[in-house]
Amino acid sequence: MIAENIVHFARVLRSAGMAVGPDRVLAAMTAIEQVGLDRRDDVHAALSAVMLDRHEQQTIFDAAFDAFWRDPKLLEQLMYLLLPKISGRGDKITPSRSNRLAEALAAPRKPDPPNPANNTADEELSFDTTFTFSERERLQQADFESMTSAEFELAKKIAEHLPLPIVPVIRRRHEAARRGTLDLRSTMQRMARQPQTLTPSFTRARREPPTLVVLLDISGSMERYARLLLHYVHGLTRRYLKVHTLVFGTRLTNITRSLRHRDPDIALQHADSQVQDWKGGTRIASCLAEFNKTWARRLLGSNAALLLMTDGLDRDDQGDLAHAAAQLRRSANQIVWLNPLLRFDGFEPRAAGVRALLPNVDLFLPVHNLASLADLARALRTPAVSPASLLNRPTHS
């Protein structure tokens, strides 16, 4: 009877998106055996000790527990009504995925008929549907904002494969190397294997890319760029484990887990369904302040680098952007600001938001086209860029 109830309860939690596997169900049964069923708070504490992974899950767990202890049947029905959207993994997305799927399944298409609105751009495209070098070249210079949708698709594919934009940092952990510090243990192992010879082995401090935290502005003014940058970030997340992504417009949302999906379309759709403020206004100051408060300490440990992708146009009259940015500066190892507005040669930091952010970043770079994304990767991977020189020369041309 108890077993049945626990299995049932675990199912409810699973449908609410918590990873409660059979191992936890077994552990839960033993736990209940130990604490007994006399006290409701003991049962609650026991089950949450066994079934939770993160503090954030406690709210869902509490709600489910309350309802379940009142009436298990009712709860399941409620969940069924409320949760079909978050339930199965991936099934929700099938309809919208068909876009790309349909494209893949369709017979090879003839070159696109020229689009009357964008004649010149499409003429160039219609010569070859394959992705030639020259086209890539041209595409790389085009501003995201003025790209046709076909060009944009191609740009997305390139963006997926651009390299990680940060310099590896030296860790305290060592790895085997050709020269460096003598590794006695390993040398001894070699000697034990071949007592006649003495071949020393060495280690050196490991170099690895630090944790990368991406803060991406998805407000109205950033829309086109944000799409492409998300593809870029998805590519990074797939290739490097330690990339955390938060997007902000009027509020801050952590979409790291969504972006872990292999498929870019599924990943972005997952992210989409999580984010509620696409193309809305921007409240940079309050979002940065919230990041400082709830995420900075959790994500910015161990020499993390922070990529801030925003145009710096703040519509927040409440917050103190300079203060939030200064606080951010103190917790991140390096802050790189990618600004699409830098495409204008005469860009001057006039907007109040830009002026507040600028003194608190290490690097300030344009990202309005693919070439600059690639440049960015190159620039950031070469160490020793003096922040001071950049601060004096904020109008990057």
Partner 1 sequence: MTTKPLTLPDSVDAVIALLATEAYVCDRRLATALFLSLKLARPLFLEGEPGVGKTELAKTLAAALHTALLRVQCYEGLDIAQTAYEWNVARQMIEIRLAEAAHAVQDEGGRERLAHSLYARSMLIERPLLQALTQPQSPVLLIDELDRADEPFDAFLLEVLAENQITIPEYGTVKAVAPPFTIITSNRTREIHDALKRRCLYHWVDFPSLERELEIVRLKAPGAADRLYVQVVEFVQRMRKLDLFKAPGVAETIDWTNALVALNTIRLDPATVHDTLGVLLKYQDDIVKLQSGDTAKLLDELKARALLD
**Is residue 318 a contact point for partner 1 (CB under 8 A)?**
no
**Is residue 185 a contact point for partner 1 (CB under 8 A)?**
yes
**Residue from 42, 76, 160, 375 binding partner 1 (CB under 8 A):** 42
**Residue from 188, 276, 393, 395 binding partner 1 (CB under 8 A):** 188
DSSP string of 276-330, one letter each residue: --TT----HHHHHHHIIIIIHHHHSTTT-EEEEE-------SSS-HHHHHHHHHH
Binding piece for partner 1, criterion CB under 8 A, among 44-52, 258-266, 346-354, 387-395: 44-52
| Distance (Å) of CA 233 to CA 198, 212, 314, 386 | 48, 10, 23, 25
Which single residue is written with the structure tokens 């790209």? 147
**Is residue 299 a contact point for partner 1 (CB under 8 A)?**
yes
Minimum CB–partner distance for residue 264 and partner 1 (Å): 23
Minimum CB–partner distance for residue 38 and partner 1 (Å): 10
Structure tokens at 342: 């830098």
Binding piece for partner 1, criterion CB under 8 A, among 65-73, 184-192, 218-226, 276-284: 184-192
**Residue from 7, 37, 49, 74 binding partner 1 (CB under 8 A):** 49
Residue pair 42/23 in contact (Cβ under 8 Å)? The answer is: no
Minimum CB–partner distance for residue 196 and partner 1 (Å): 10
Minimum CB–partner distance for residue 346 and partner 1 (Å): 36
**Is residue 192 a contact point for partner 1 (CB under 8 A)?**
yes
Amino acid at 265: D
**Is residue 172 a contact point for partner 1 (CB under 8 A)?**
yes
As a residue count, the chain comes to: 397
Q: Which of 175, 187, 136 is nearest to 157 (CA)?
A: 136
Positive or negative, the CA dihedral 145, 150, 152, 155 is negative
Give the whole-angstrom CA distance, residue 164 versus residue 269.
23
Minimum CB–partner distance for residue 331 and partner 1 (Å): 10
Q: Compare residues 34 and 119 and give the one whose CB is closer to partner 1.
A: 34
Q: Compare residues 221 and 327 and give the one whose CB is closer to partner 1.
A: 327
**Is residue 302 a contact point for partner 1 (CB under 8 A)?**
yes
Mask of contacts with partner 1, 269-298, x by CB under 8 A? -----------------------xx---xx
Quote the strand ranges of the chain, DSSP E: 169-177, 181-182, 202-208, 212-217, 243-248, 252-254, 305-309, 334-339, 363-366
Minimum CB–partner distance for residue 334 and partner 1 (Å): 17
Minimum CB–partner distance for residue 254 and partner 1 (Å): 11
**Is residue 191 a contact point for partner 1 (CB under 8 A)?**
yes
The residues with which 215 forms a beta bridge, in sequence order, are 246, 308
**Is residue 29 a contact point for partner 1 (CB under 8 A)?**
no
- What residues from 152 to 171 belong to the interface with partner 1 (CB under 8 A)? 171
Q: Helix 133-141 crosses helix 370-381 at what angle (to 10 degrees)?
A: 80
SS (H, E, C) 18-61: CCCCHHHHHHHHHHHHHHCCCCHHHHHHHHHHHHCCCCCHHHHH
Q: Count of CB atoms within 10 A of residue 375's CB? A: 16
Binding piece for partner 1, criterion CB under 8 A, among 48-56, 111-119, 258-266, 348-356: 48-56
Structure tokens at 266: 């599924």
Q: Compare residues 123 and 175 and give the one whose CB is closer to partner 1.
A: 175
Structure tokens at 366: 């344009």
Minimum CB–partner distance for residue 206 and partner 1 (Å): 9
**Is residue 237 a contact point for partner 1 (CB under 8 A)?**
no
**Residue from 4, 22, 23, 116 binding partner 1 (CB under 8 A):** 23
Q: Compare residues 260 and 343 and give the one whose CB is closer to partner 1.
A: 260
SS (H, E, C) 157-199: HHHHCCCCCCCCEEEEEEEEECCCEECHHHHHHHHHHCCCCCC
**Is residue 31 a contact point for partner 1 (CB under 8 A)?**
yes
282: burial class by Cβ within 10 Å (0-12, 13-18, 19+)? buried
Structure tokens at 114: 């020229």
- Footprint on this chain of partner 1 (rule: CB under 8 A): 19, 21, 23-24, 27, 30-31, 34-35, 41-42, 44-46, 48-50, 52-55, 58, 171-174, 184-185, 188-189, 191-192, 195, 211, 241, 292-293, 297-299, 301-302, 323, 327
